[in-house]
Amino acid sequence: MFKQGEKFKNNQRKYKALIEKYHLNMISLNQLNVVNNLKSKRYACISEGFDGGASMNAVEQKNLAEKTKIDRLEGQFNDNMRQYITKYKTYLKELASRQTSLNSRLKNKVIRYGTNYYYINNTGIARQFTDASWRGKDESCPNSNTTINAQEFSRLSLGPPMNIGELCRSGGYNAKDQSSGSAAWVDNLGYKHLYTDFINRNKTCPADTVNVTGIQFNAIPTGNNYGPNDTCNTMSLDSPLYDQLVVLNQKMISDVTAMKGEVNKMATEDVTLDTDIEKQKTILTNTYSALLKEQKKIKQMKADIEQYKAETEDQFLSVPSVQMHHMMWAIIGGAFIATIIYNSK
């Protein structure tokens, strides 16, 4: 009987040790709610973000910051695009106006204005001959039979001066040096742009070339070299709008490049975040499994305690019965002994 009571006390101590306050804060005997109950410092990384949106977590803050940055770049791009469309329409109107106002008798001609001679290409670009270049002009440059007035000259756009031995030819073609084999795009202003790689040139640049002598090729004014990203424009105009369009185009390219970089950065961060989330899921799963085991232990311990408690109560109830039984036998024995003594007397 006494050993059974001692066993009951030992199990009570084990039960209390097993369900400390720390464990009770996390689990329930009736219902195991891991997500809501794992709100301790130890499991802060797991419970964060499961509060129903009451507070913004670090991931949401970072996503919001990145979205704000991309929205700002997109806004800049759209604003530049609106300006570009407006200015480009004005630029085309100005170009068309100059083209229609240019008398056909002046195109691809050498004219005289004042005391100077000019070659005028088919887009209205006037290129002045110096005294030396006029004396040493190429045979493609005819003598001038046309003189224009100030009003007609004001409708022309000025290009670079003509060089000695340079062809009188409108731009918008590929010139190839017969001597060296070098190829270059000649724009409508009269500048040549050497190709860094003619085979891998931009798709806007034609494949046909015009063979010229080394003197003619070297006489063409040199502009910047053309790589695979440089387009061969067939129209140009001496206008402030053209420079503004170039600047806006560069800004839009810069914005698109920046947005692409941000998107790639977010993609990389998403991969890292997915990896971290998988790790946290593993931790949560392991914790959940461990708590299930703890729950089973507690249920078993509670059942054992209830059994020990019932057994102990049975023991406590049987003690008075045994004591009464012993007392009755003692009374009977005493009476029996007293009877013997009395009879013996």
pLDDT tens digits for range 277-333: 777 777 777 777 777 777 777 777 777 777 777 766 666 666 566 666 667 777 777
Which range of 232-241, 249-258, 306-315 scores highest in mean pLDDT? It is 249-258
pTM more than 0.85: no
Residue 339: burial class (beta carbons within 10 Å; 0-12, 13-18, 19+): exposed
Please report, for residues 320, 323, 339, the alpha-carbon distance to residue 332 in angstroms, rounded to integers and kept in the order given. Answer: 18, 14, 10
CA-CA distance, 268 to 262, in Å (whole number)?
10
What is the percentage of the chain residues whose pLDDT exceeds 70?
67
Please report, for residues 94, 111, 145, 221, the alpha-carbon distance to residue 136 in angstroms, rounded to integers and kept in the order given. Answer: 35, 17, 18, 16
Query: What average pLDDT does range 196-221 have in this prediction?
Result: 94
pLDDT of residue 39: 45
Of the pLDDT bands very low, low, confident and very high (cuts 50, 70, 90), residue 248 is confident
181-201 pLDDT, tens digit per residue, is: 999 999 988 999 999 999 999
113 or 106, greater pLDDT: 113
CA-CA distance, 284 to 198, in Å (whole number)?
61
Q: End-to-end distance of the chain based on CA atoms, in angstroms? A: 44
pLDDT over threshold 90, residue 178: yes
Give the single-character DSSP code of 222: B
pLDDT of residue 237: 54
Query: If we measure between CA atoms, which residue out of 101, 152, 100 comes closest to residue 126?
Result: 152
